Amino acid sequence: MFDTGSTGFMLVCAMLVLLMTPGLAFFYGGLSRRKNVVNTMLMSFAVLGIVGVTWTVCGWSLAYGGDGSLPFFGGFDQLGLAGLVADIVGEAPEALSHDAYPAMADVVFQMAFCMITTAIVTGAVAGRVKFGAVCAFTAVWTVVVYPPLAHMVWGGEGSLVGDMIGALDFAGGDVVHISSGLTGLVLCVIAGKRKGYAVMSYRPHNVPFVALGATLLWFGWFGFNAGSEFSPDGVAALALVNTVAASSSALVSWLAVERARDGKPTLVGAATGLVAGLVVITPAAGFVEPWAAAAMGVIVSPVCYAAVSFLKRRLGYDDALDAFGIHAVGGVTGGILTGLFCVPELSWTDFGGLLYTGDPTLLGAQVLGILVTVGFVGVLDVALGFIVKACFKGSLRVGEAEEAQGLDVTAHGESAYPAYVGLD
């Protein structure tokens, strides 16, 4: 018999994480231009549908199937979630069963992770990419890239990053944030810059939407991080406290940076700092003390602020909604700081953080794990990006006239504000 407390805990956490992708739609929709808000939000909603299918058909099996002995992917034994109903009625083989809760709860929990990861990518290419190309890339990416990476980090004994390298990733610094932010960067470079980029000033069209989206993300993130303990125990409580501590301190830190540089703190800045704090604590949530989580939040905001405000301008890439600057940069920062602040007794390996042990082994493993993630995801992203581009007549972009008019009307025949007749 399954433990009802553990089962209930996992189901609630799964539902919280499922809320994050619609929350991201509001966050991204508010940040976008008025003429593209429907398109921007629809890309996140399309991810819900596509990932729901790909994860059920093969994503779960490729990530967590098999016996966990392979370094790069799970297996093909659970395609279509074969055998998992038998787990519920007590007839599944041991390899398919969980001790405390049904494997189906884990399936939907991990499905929600894949959804939010993929949706983050879409922010980088908002405002100029063909909707069909985004859907095609999503369908392939959630089969070829995300499941193998999830297995490499969380797949158990034999997994490349988690077991062989010994890198720690509590809830998705590598799997979710670095992978999505890097993918967004690759796609926005392949797609090219928006018309008028670096000439026109792009401002969020709906600040309350941004705040609403950030609030939904914040709420869902509690299930995201605490649920990654897979048990309603003390570490789950620690992960929850650390999530609040890091996001709160990052929010304050971001406002302080804005005040020092621009003279005015903003609501968009507060929401962005909140998300940056959530990103940085994700890989470390169950490994560090609350004071360290707060310190990580203080550190990540100026780092991400610099990436968004200076690095993007210096390198000239058009990451429309800063998926790379917040998620990839914040994820790398969190992964490295995990190697510094990890409490030895909480580590999944034999090594603790440099601050506690004076031993740089874990810190080195964290850096190596990040490099492997970047190499694996980056190479596949470039290949998939150019393949999808070739399949769409050699361009990921909509036409110039469509981009100028806005993708809401030209691609979807809808307008978020049909009565509005002013300038965008």
Q: Give the separation between CA 377 and CA 392, rounded to whole angstroms.
A: 22
pLDDT at 290: 98
What value does the mean pLDDT of the chain take?
94
The residues that bridge with 129 in the sheet, in sequence order, are 397
Is 421 a residue whose pLDDT tops 90?
A: no
The position carrying tokens 């964290």 is 366
Sign, Cα dihedral of 302, 303, 307, 308? negative
**At 397, is the secondary structure helix, strand, or coil?**
strand
Query: What tens digit of pLDDT does each residue of 280-310 get?
Result: 999 999 999 999 999 999 999 999 999 999 9
Q: Which of 42-46, 372-376, 416-420 has the lowest mean pLDDT?
A: 416-420
Q: Which of 36-40, 119-123, 311-315 has the lowest mean pLDDT?
A: 311-315
Q: Residue 126: which of 314, 286, 318, 273 has the closest Cα?
A: 318
The residues that bridge with 397 in the sheet, in sequence order, are 129
Q: How confident is the model at residue 158 (pLDDT cuts 50, 70, 90)?
A: confident
pLDDT at 197: 82
CATH topology of domain 4-412: Ammonium transporter fold (1.10.3430)
Percentage of the chain exceeding pLDDT 70: 97
Is 210 a residue whose pLDDT tops 90?
A: yes
Q: Give the separation between CA 60 and CA 364, rounded to whole angstroms.
A: 30
Element (H, E) at 356: helix 354-357
DSSP output for 251-300: HHHHHHHHHHHHS---HHHHHHHHHHHHHHHGGGTTTS-HHHHHHHHHHH
Q: Where are the alpha helices (DSSP H) in 70-145?
A: 84-88, 103-122, 131-144
pLDDT at 94: 57
Query: What tens digit of pLDDT does each residue of 211-220 get?
Result: 999 999 999 9
Is 30 a residue whose pLDDT tops 90?
A: yes
Query: What tens digit of pLDDT does each residue of 344-392 get?
Result: 999 999 999 999 999 999 999 999 999 999 999 999 999 999 999 999 9
Is 53 a residue whose pLDDT tops 90?
A: yes
Query: What tens digit of pLDDT does each residue of 161-200 get?
Result: 999 999 999 999 999 999 999 999 999 999 999 988 877 7
The position carrying tokens 């077991």 is 163
Is 95 a residue whose pLDDT tops 60?
A: no
Is 396 a residue whose pLDDT tops 80?
A: yes
Element (H, E) at 389: helix 361-391
Pick 155 or 384 by higher pLDDT: 384
Q: Give the separation between CA 124 and CA 407, rounded to whole angstroms.
A: 15
Q: Give the separation between CA 403 and CA 368, rounded to whole angstroms.
A: 41
DSSP output for 203-254: --S-HHHHHHHHHHHHHHHHHHHHGGG-SSSHHHHHHHHHHHHHHHHHHHHH
User: What is the mean pLDDT of the segment spanning 317-342?
Assistant: 97
By CB atoms closer than 10 A (0-12, 13-18, 19+), residue 260 is: exposed
The DSSP output letter for 129 is: B
User: What is the mean pLDDT of the segment spanning 62-79?
Assistant: 89
User: What is the mean pLDDT of the segment spanning 330-357?
Assistant: 97
Q: Which amino acid is at 236?
A: A
Is 98 a residue whose pLDDT tops 70?
A: no
Q: How confident is the model at residue 424 (pLDDT cuts 50, 70, 90)?
A: low
Is 86 a residue whose pLDDT tops 90?
A: no
Q: Which amino acid is at 162?
A: G
pLDDT at 97: 54
Q: Which amino acid is at 183?
A: T
List Cβ neighbours of 30 (8 Å cut-off, separation of 6 or more).
37, 204, 205, 206, 207, 208, 209, 210, 211, 212, 213
Q: Residue 149: which of 358, 397, 363, 379 has the closest Cα?
A: 379
Q: Where are the beta strands (DSSP E) in 8-84?
A: none
Q: Tokens representing 354?
A: 């440099």
Taking the C-alpha atoms of 282, 176, 302 and 208 in order, what is their torsion angle to the nearest 10 degrees?
-100
Query: What tens digit of pLDDT does each residue of 214-255 get?
Result: 999 999 999 999 999 999 999 999 999 999 999 999 999 999
Distances in Å between the Cα of 75 and the Cα atoms of 11, 143, 234, 250, 366 are: 25, 13, 32, 39, 26
**At 63, is the secondary structure helix, strand, or coil?**
helix
pLDDT at 96: 56
Q: Residue 387: which of 133, 178, 200 has the closest Cα?
A: 133
Distances in Å between the Cα of 283 and the Cα atoms of 234, 248, 289, 372, 388 are: 17, 17, 13, 16, 31
Sign, Cα dihedral of 192, 194, 200, 206? negative
Is 88 a residue whose pLDDT tops 90?
A: no
